[in-house]
Structure 1
Amino acid sequence: MLNGKTIVLGITGGIAAYKAITLCSRLVQHGANVHVIMSESAKHFVTELTVQTLSRNPVYTDTFDEREPSVVSHIHLADAADMVVIAPATANILAKMTYGLADDMLSTTLLATTAPIVVAPAMNVHMYAHPATVHNMKVLEERGVLFVEPGTGQLACGYVGKGRLAEPEDIFHWIERYFAEQSNTNTNQEISKPLAGKKLMVTAGGTIERIDPVRYITNDSSGKMGFAIARVAKELGATVQLIAANTNEAPPEGIEVIQAMSAQDMYDAVLERMDDADIIIKAAAVADYRPVKQAPHKMKKSSERLSLELERTEDILQKIGELKKHQFVVGFAAETHDVDYYAQDKLKRKNCDFIVANDVTAEGAGFGVDTNIVKIYDHQGLVEQLPQMTKEQVAHRLLSLIADRLAGGSI
């Protein structure tokens, strides 16, 4: 997908600039024609010679350093680019982009290009969360600038939080997927809507099991993954039914939503509708146990200890696996250890076609966040391991794999 693509790589002045070296090398290895623009500050962290050697092209740092009389360098680069990638992107370059400043080679080129712009921010956690930076990123996103989310963890300044540049491999895969999706979209309508004519049912959120009218047992599921699947499936042409339990946000617009708050409610809703579905994706986190008795009124404190007797809920995925006929069934496995073993065991026991598994203790892969890190399995073993990406991107890749299987592909 990258062979022959011209990518302008902007490197700005943050400690994470060293990661841009790896990204540059990776892009070149896969056939991209990489032209690097470094800010003056970036030169304090990496050398022009290193970048020139890896990119196999001259490095641009000065707007007025015109090397070829027949062209104006920043306009020539802006016109030639199939994509402009800024990694790392400091708070300073985000502010310049927002307000249209053009006082160096990179910011001038950014104003002149009509190519897609991809930004990978990297900065101190407080700088990233500052209202000015948040505002700037929101404005840029509204203008169509694309973002590769920073990671969370130990930062060079000593703080722990969000602001660490995404890993070069993850940025590379993001770019690769972008061109792959653009290629599919531009080929023809059949490819861009691979789920056209398919009926897809997806469950989302965490079920709640009542103890009394004001208390219940639940889990940390936010519904974000299921919602992302519903949105992307609709974009890919499917008719979507979303069965939602307890969630942290409003469900996607334009999609049929069936509320099913308890495990029993969801069991009934899924079984009632599964015969009409071509694809069933069980992304909801359904409680394994519920209180044997539900008090009709608020329980009052009566002693130092309270014993709560629980009973097993109906296993929805198990039942789907037993009853399925033509349906393609996907389960999710949220694990904390031995992910490979438990995921493949669940796939076999519950007669799924795919299991999507993640380690919810990993940064960027747990409940309530906008990103995920997953492995997708079938009965032959691991199908694909995805790096950290947004849940929308995970949904797109998962649904693309499903569409390929339904079409008779070998992926």
Structure 2
Amino acid sequence: MVIFSNLKNTVLLWFLIVSACGNVDKSQKPTSDETDLKNASDQILPVVVGANRTEKYLPMLQGKKVAVVANQTSVLFKGTADKTTKSHVHLVDSLLALGIQIQKVFAPEHGFRGQADAGEKVKDGTDTKTGLPLISLYGKNRKPSPEHLENLDVILFDIQDVGVRFYTYIATLQLVMEACAENGIPIIVLDRPNPNGHYVDGPTMESAHTGFLGMTEIPLVYGMSIGEYSKMINEEGWLNDSIQADLTVIPLENYTHQTTYSLPIRPSPNLPNDTAINLYPSLGLFEGTNINAGRGTEFQFQRYGASFLDKSQYSFKYWPRPNFGSKNPKENGEVCYGKDLSQQPKMSEVSLQWLLDAYMNAEDKDKVFNTNGFTRHAGTEKLQQQIEAGRTEEEIKVNWQPDLEKFKKIREKYLLYE
């Protein structure tokens, strides 16, 4: 009965779309109702990630010696019989089963299986399941060395990003692309949706503060899939000496930047759900302070607090403890006074309201900022200065706009999706 009902609804929706289109004057733009119907029909089709489009990239791997840049999110999805849930198989396992000659795996921050804490060094090793050598790109090396790339024919990159500049996977992407360009090795990027791809916002990285938390002068939230962003890196001359990699992007199907996409696998230990991922651009700025942003609880990036915030201003409190992904959280074991944001509606902007609230209510304001860390996350010294000077959110955001408009014009050249 469920299948029949779904089929009936699909047929009815298709009939309505066809009927509406039949009455359209082709010389005029579609009405908003017609656009809504088309958008509804688009959502019937599930997003197909680049990894699942094997017909596009397997021919480029056959007979080649391949290295894969991957973590726990690097999977191919398999629909189940009722099409309501999905199982998955890891990309590496799938390629090995197909006879592809994988030589090694490069692992980003958090490691190949995604178990390491944020900032925790990851060591080289061997994958116990496949026996493949694991080369860490978040340990003594951030960039593959020429020795790591010896006897390789192609690099395959497949990691789920969340679209925030200080989330280090895009820095890993840039350094891998640079190594490939320098050593004449083609790179294939399997595209994945950006759950924060529906907007562009935040302070823009300044050249004086670039590093692994932001290698290029882009806004905090840049509104691009990782495939689109790889094209921007390559063609804007952001690799060393403006060299270009031999880059191929395997695009998504049935995706636009307004498509709601729920990540089926944690992209890192402290982003457990859609709410945390959506709040991460705003609450991630607390990473450069001494205020806890939910690490050491089961509500990472869905709350904030500290023992030195004025408890008379808050009805919410919690105690961070060591847990999966956070062996030593800020304010470990201390009572944190702050706010619970776990029911916050979906956002389409970077919000400073919580950072401003915490600073205003800090009993000792000198305890708030870890200045060097905050600058590296914000990408500028100005934001801390503006907060300490008592600027409002509106006043601060006005200063972002010229850089945001400049970036949007560059971004437009590399968009693969509407």
State the TM-score bracket (shorter-chain normalisation). Answer: under 0.3
TM-score, reference length from structure 2: 0.24
Q: Determine which structure has the larger strand proportion and give its number.
A: 1
